[in-house]
């Protein structure tokens, strides 16, 4: 064992799992981008728009009215009731008293759910590529993240057979994320029905991360796997206000589902952070009561998606499938012969555009970079022009 000594203190004092935690590649690209001027960032996974005024005012009003205290560990009941009403729209019945917890963003839900469910060595099936935090969260709680490859030829959708092939007697959980970060893939009813059947046949649990559920395009409707027959108690549905209501900085989200899991998460939250800050919970009520806000955001992102995909596909040497949801394009750069890390780093150094190397999202992400279209259209077009210049210097007609 290597023991690192820092200013005379042996660092084996620190938990071994904490020692392997490192900065993710998304944050690393942001750090590097600070070294340059005139940078356009297509790296940011959050809406560029500020939180709508009425939501901000609801938060301020709560503060002015003395809502400055601890709340119940699971969150104020008024918010849990609104969440329950909202889940009904997606065919999910949940008891606001026992089956819902308000957490610090979806990340609070994801990490606590894994903490209360995973024993050392339990296997968790996660699609590859996938938002990188899943892998590190699973590892940190002693689980084993088992990647399931998804392919561009299948529009990056998780395919039931590929899940089945990787089930062992240690498999406990399948994590799904639709619409998906980084690919923009959306699972439809049939995809989800097949995954549900696998879970039922093999007695598995599903963690369903639906933080992009309102950002779904071409007139499609989001489907929650918890609404599928037989799945009610086998799923924890996780969602948040971050992407749907431009509220990333408020740090508020929720989990709903199996009563025992929610109860344990609530007991854990009591020990970790007690509760989510009170004014954010009042702001979240205002958000859910004005759901059309998320519809407006969706329309903005859908229009940007249409433009950027068309522009990117017109660049010789690049291609991308049309993402069905979220606010990311997973751009195929294979024809440039660059690794995704080389591509992203050179693009930043030479053209001052931030993208995220696909390899940051898993082995299957190699050959792609993730582009977030979380910028106004004029900036997006400028960024695409710079990408075109860079790729033009690599690929001669």
Q: Which residues bind ligand PLP (CB under 6 A)?
A: 45, 105-107, 131, 177, 181, 209, 211, 240, 242, 248, 253
Q: Which is nearer to ligand PLP, 326 or 367 (CB)?
A: 326
Q: How far is the CB of 132 from ligand PLP (least distance, A)?
A: 9
Nearer to ligand PLP, 94 or 111 (CB): 111
Q: In 3-state terms, what secondary structure has residue 43?
A: coil
- Comparing CA positions, the residue from 306, 357, 354, 311 lying closest to residue 336 is 357
Of the pair 130, 336, the CB lying nearest ligand PLP is at 130
CB of 242 to ligand PLP, least distance (A): 3
Cα–Cα distance between 389 and 367 in angstroms, integer?
19
In the complex, residue closest to ligand PLP by CB: 105
CB of 155 to ligand PLP, least distance (A): 17
Using the minimum distance from each CB to ligand PLP, give the nearer residue, 84 or 177. Answer: 177
CA-CA distance, 311 to 395, in Å (whole number)? 17
State the Cα–Cα distance between residues 301 and 305, nearest whole angstrom. Answer: 6
Peptide bond into 310 cis (omega under 30): no
Which of 265/318 has CB closer to ligand PLP? Answer: 265
For residues 248 and 345, which CB has a smaller minimum distance to ligand PLP in the complex?
248
* Closest CB 192 distance from ligand PLP, rounded Å: 17
Instruction: Tell me the H-state helices in 213-328.
Output: 259-272, 278-289, 292-313
Closest distance between ligand PLP and the C-beta of residue 104, in Å? 7
Structure tokens, 389: 């210049």
Cβ of residue 106: shortest distance to ligand PLP, in angstroms?
A: 3
Nearer CB in complex with ligand PLP: 131/217: 131
At its nearest, how many Å lie between ligand PLP and the CB of residue 248? 5
- What span, in angstroms and rounded, lies between the C-alpha atoms of 307 and 118? 43
CB of 280 to ligand PLP, least distance (A): 12
Judge contact between 40 and 353, C-beta under 8 A. Answer: yes
The rounded radius of gyration (Å) of the Cα atoms in the chain is: 21
Taking CA atoms, 396 is separated from 67, 235, 283, 309, 340, in Å, by 62, 51, 53, 22, 19
Identify the helix (H) or strand (E) that includes residue 86.
Answer: helix 77-88
Of the two residues 301 and 390, which places its CB atom closer to ligand PLP in the complex? Answer: 301
- Whether 324 contacts 179, CB under 8 Å: yes
């Amino acid at each position: 064992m290597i023991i690192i000594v820092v200013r005379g203190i042996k660092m084996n004092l620190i938990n071994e799992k904490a020692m392997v935690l490192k900065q993710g590649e998304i944050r690393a690209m942001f750090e590097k981008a600070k070294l340059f001027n005139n940078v356009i960032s297509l790296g940011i996974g959050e809406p560029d728009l500020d939180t709508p005024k009425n939501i901000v005012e609801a938060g301020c009003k709560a503060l002015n009215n003395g809502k400055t205290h601890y709340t119940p560990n699971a969150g104020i009941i008024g918010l849990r009731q609104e969440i329950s009403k909202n889940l009904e729209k997606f065919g999910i019945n949940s008891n606001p008293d026992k089956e819902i917890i308000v957490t610090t963003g979806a990340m609070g839900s994801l990490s606590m759910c894994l903490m209360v469910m995973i024993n050392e060595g339990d296997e968790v099936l996660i699609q590859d590529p996938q938002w990188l935090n899943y892998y590190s969260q699973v590892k940190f709680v002693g689980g084993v993240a088992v990647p399931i490859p998804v392919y561009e030829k299948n529009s990056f959708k998780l395919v039931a057979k590929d899940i089945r092939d990787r089930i062992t007697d240690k498999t406990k959980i399948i994590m799904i994320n639709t619409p998906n970060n980084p690919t923009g893939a959306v699972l439809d009813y049939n995809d989800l029905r097949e995954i549900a059947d696998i879970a039922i046949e093999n007695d598995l649990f599903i963690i369903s991360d639906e933080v992009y559920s309102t950002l779904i395009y071409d007139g499609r409707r989001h489907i929650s796997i918890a609404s599928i027959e037989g799945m009610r108690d086998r799923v924890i549905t996780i969602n948040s206000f971050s992407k749907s209501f431009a509220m990333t900085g408020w740090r508020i989200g929720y989990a709903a589902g199996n009563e025992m899991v929610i109860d344990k998460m609530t007991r854990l939250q009591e020990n970790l952070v007690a509760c989510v800050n009170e004014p954010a919970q009042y702001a979240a009520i205002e958000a859910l009561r004005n759901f059309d806000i998320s519809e407006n955001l969706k329309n903005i992102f859908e229009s940007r998606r249409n433009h950027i995909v068309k522009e990117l596909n017109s660049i010789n040497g690049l291609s991308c499938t049309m993402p069905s949801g979220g606010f990311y394009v997973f751009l195929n750069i294979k024809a440039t012969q660059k690794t995704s890390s080389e591509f992203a780093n050179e693009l930043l150094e030479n053209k001052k555009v931030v993208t995220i190397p696909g390899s940051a999202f898993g082995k299957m992400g190699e050959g792609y970079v993730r582009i977030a279209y979380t910028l106004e259209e004029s900036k997006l077009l400028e960024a695409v022009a710079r990408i075109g210049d860079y790729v033009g210097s690599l690929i001669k007609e």
